[in-house]
Every structure is written in structure tokens, then in C-alpha cells.
């Protein structure tokens, strides 16, 4: 019996490991105003053509490097480090912020088992590490000319030419008839643009210049800076909610380190995350880890209020004094 017990424990551990390894997640992206876009994850284009609502399924990692490329190049490009809960379907909205800039914002998160079926018009793609085949969309330019007036003596020639190689249609028509010498001529031209996606072995090839992000300036702060651009408050609240939803400090700490390791935070944001943990040792470990990913490191003393014991404050201070950037 004693020999069977270790074997049973080993099987339980293996089953849990396999279960964790097979955990998959879904991501949903949509634009608030209906702008069409392409989703790029870790440098690989996911949807073959621009859409307004895209669901990417079967994601196995807890974080990805996201790029949103709009069909209209004038709208720019969004670059973002994306964090989300595993085993869930997480929805993000693409919209303009109060600075009139396009951003990606966390909206909601539900277990995949409770997720709704795909919405009408939603493009669903399975996560891939190879870009889809090249897609080209060409639309026809149509010009219509109409003349209004009283018919007079003379001749008039009207020509209509419709040529659409994609549909295999080529029509030419010429009509001669009574003339018009007095009247109003109205010409209406409707022009649409073409969209072309180029696929390379490395993913998505983008020829437009990338926008340069302006340096962040924290109002009223003139101290040392540890990282270039802190997380937006809207993104932070979504991350904080995701961390708080977990039941155990160990799980919360793992997610928190994943978020912090790929972002830049403010001291007050670090403190808010610390207060989600129950144990003093866990708060101290998080404070040490986050020091290298904090913008306003001159304000790091504010974290002291999150500790109960003076020894924790002293240990964090020693760590900061010995830290090399």
C-alpha cells in the first residue's frame, strides 16, 4: 500500500500538469465605430482580411504582443502587450480615448464554457503561428453622368462602359439621339480604395511608417524615471480585476509578475496590486519585483503603507539601494 501511494500522487500531478497545459483561451476584438482592422499576435497576422469584429480561439499562452492595423492607414497602428485570464473568453474594445487616439481596452471576461456563440458578422479564426495566404480586395470605381434640360436640335452621344475583370463583365454601349443645347449636367463619381495584404514567412509586412509614441510626463513629478511609459489606467483596472479574481496568493502573484514583467507601472499602481495579497511576504516579493518596472521610482516610498512590519520596509529599502538599473 505504501508503494502505491507515491505512484498515485505522481499520476495526480501529471494529470494536473496536462490539464493546465491544455488550457486554451479566446480573444474577441471589435471596434466601437465599425472601423475595419487586422489582428497581429506575436508578429503573425491572424485574420486574412480586415473586419470590424474578430474572435481568435485556441490561445495557449497568458500573454501576447498585440498589434492592431486598421484598413484605413490614416488611423494609425496600435501596439500593446496583452494580458488575459487563461481558460476564458476575453473581450477587448477598440475605440478612441479622450486624446482622440485609438486604444485597446479590456471590456469583459467569462469562462469559455459560458461564452456566447459567434455573433452575426463576427470573423472567427483559430490562432496560428503562420500568416494566412495573401488576400487582395479590389472594388470597382463607378462614374455616372446625367444631363437635364429641354431637348433641342442637334445630336448627343452618350457612352457607358462597365468593366469588372473579377466578375468577367465587359459592356460597351453608345447611343445617339436628339440634342440638348440648354440644361444642367451633373456628374457623380464614387471611388473606393483597394486593400492588399502581403504575406511573408515572418508574418505581416507593413510598409507604412510607424507612429512615434510621445514621451510620458507625469504631472508634478520631477524625480528619477525607471521605465518610459506607464500603463493606462483603463488597462490597469482590467488587469487588477483579473488578478483579484483568483483565489490564492500564489496564482495572483504569478499573474501579477506576468503583467508587470511586460509593462511599466506607477508606484501607486504597484501599491494597489500589493493590497490584493493577504500575506506580508508576498507583498514584499511583489514590491521587489516591480521596482525594475516602475516609472516614478522616486515615489516608491508610498509602498511602505502596504506593509505591517518595519522589517519589511527595511528589507525593501536595502533591495532598492542595491538595485542596478
- CATH code of the domain in which 57 resides: 2.60.40
Among 121, 155, 190, identify where a domain stops.
Answer: 190
Whether residue 199 lies inside any domain: the answer is: no
What is the CA angle 92-107-33, rounded to 5? 60
How many of the other CB atoms lie within 10 Å of CB of 89?
21
> How are beta strands 199-200 and 203-204 bridged, if at all?
antiparallel
CA distance 141 to 263: 46
Residue span of the structural domain in which 104 resides: 24-137
Residue 14 is predicted with a pLDDT of 58
CA distance 216 to 295: 10
Residue 262 is predicted with a pLDDT of 86
How many of the other CB atoms lie within 10 Å of CB of 223?
12
pLDDT band at residue 186 under the 50/70/90 scheme: very low
8 Cβ neighbours under 8 A, 6+ residues apart: none
Number of domains in the chain: 3
Whether residue 124 lies inside any domain: the answer is: yes
Residue 247 is predicted with a pLDDT of 87
Same domain, 252 and 308: yes
Whether residue 90 lies inside any domain: the answer is: yes
Whether residue 212 lies inside any domain: the answer is: no
Whether residue 200 lies inside any domain: the answer is: no
Same domain, 31 and 60: yes
Same domain, 121 and 41: yes
Same domain, 78 and 118: yes
Rounded to the nearest angstrom, the gap between the alpha carbon of residue 70 and the centroid of all alpha carbons in its chain is: 12
Whether residue 216 lies inside any domain: the answer is: no
Q: Model confidence over 78-116: pLDDT tens digits?
A: 999 988 888 899 999 999 998 889 999 998 888 988 888
Residue 163 is predicted with a pLDDT of 56
Whether residue 16 lies inside any domain: the answer is: no
Half-sphere exposure (Cβ direction) of 255: Cα atoms closer than 13 Å: 26
Residue 161 is predicted with a pLDDT of 54
CA distance 115 to 190: 41
Amino acid at each position: 500500500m505504501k508503494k502505491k501511494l507515491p505512484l498515485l500522487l505522481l499520476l495526480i500531478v501529471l494529470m494536473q500538469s496536462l490539464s493546465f497545459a491544455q488550457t486554451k483561451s479566446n480573444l474577441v476584438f471589435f471596434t466601437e465605430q465599425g472601423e475595419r482592422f487586422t489582428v497581429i499576435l506575436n508578429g503573425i497576422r491572424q485574420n486574412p482580411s480586415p473586419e470590424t469584429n474578430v474572435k481568435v480561439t485556441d490561445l495557449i499562452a497568458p500573454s501576447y504582443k498585440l498589434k492592431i492595423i486598421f484598413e484605413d492607414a490614416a488611423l494609425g497602428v496600435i501596439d500593446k502587450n496583452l494580458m488575459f485570464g487563461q481558460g476564458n473568453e476575453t473581450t477587448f474594445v477598440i475605440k478612441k480615448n479622450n486624446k482622440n487616439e485609438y486604444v485597446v481596452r479590456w471590456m469583459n471576461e467569462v469562462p469559455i464554457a459560458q461564452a456566447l456563440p459567434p455573433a452575426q458578422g463576427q470573423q472567427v479564426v483559430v490562432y496560428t503561428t503562420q500568416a494566412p495566404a495573401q488576400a487582395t480586395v479590389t472594388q470597382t470605381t463607378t462614374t455616372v453622368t446625367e444631363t437635364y434640360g429641354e431637348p433641342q436640335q442637334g445630336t448627343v452621344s452618350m457612352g457607358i462602359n462597365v468593366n469588372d475583370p473579377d466578375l468577367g463583365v465587359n459592356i460597351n454601349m453608345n447611343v445617339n439621339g436628339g440634342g440638348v443645347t440648354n440644361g444642367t449636367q451633373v456628374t457623380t463619381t464614387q471611388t473606393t480604395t483597394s486593400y492588399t495584404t502581403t504575406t511573408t514567412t515572418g508574418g505581416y509586412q507593413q510598409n507604412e511608417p510607424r507612429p512615434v509614441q510621445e514621451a510620458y510626463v507625469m504631472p508634478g513629478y520631477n524625480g528619477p524615471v525607471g521605465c518610459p511609459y506607464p500603463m493606462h489606467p483603463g488597462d490597469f483596472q482590467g488587469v487588477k480585476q483579473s488578478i483579484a479574481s483568483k483565489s490564492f496568493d500564489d496564482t495572483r502573484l504569478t499573474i501579477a509578475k506576468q503583467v508587470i514583467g511586460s509593462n511599466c507601472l506607477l508606484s501607486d499602481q504597484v501599491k494597489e496590486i500589493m493590497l490584493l495579497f493577504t500575506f506580508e511576504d508576498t507583498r514584499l516579493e511583489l514590491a521587489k519585483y516591480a521596482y525594475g518596472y516602475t516609472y516614478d521610482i522616486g515615489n516608491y516610498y508610498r509602498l511602505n503603507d502596504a506593509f505591517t512590519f518595519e522589517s519589511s520596509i527595511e528589507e525593501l529599502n536595502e533591495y532598492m539601494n542595491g538595485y542596478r538599473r
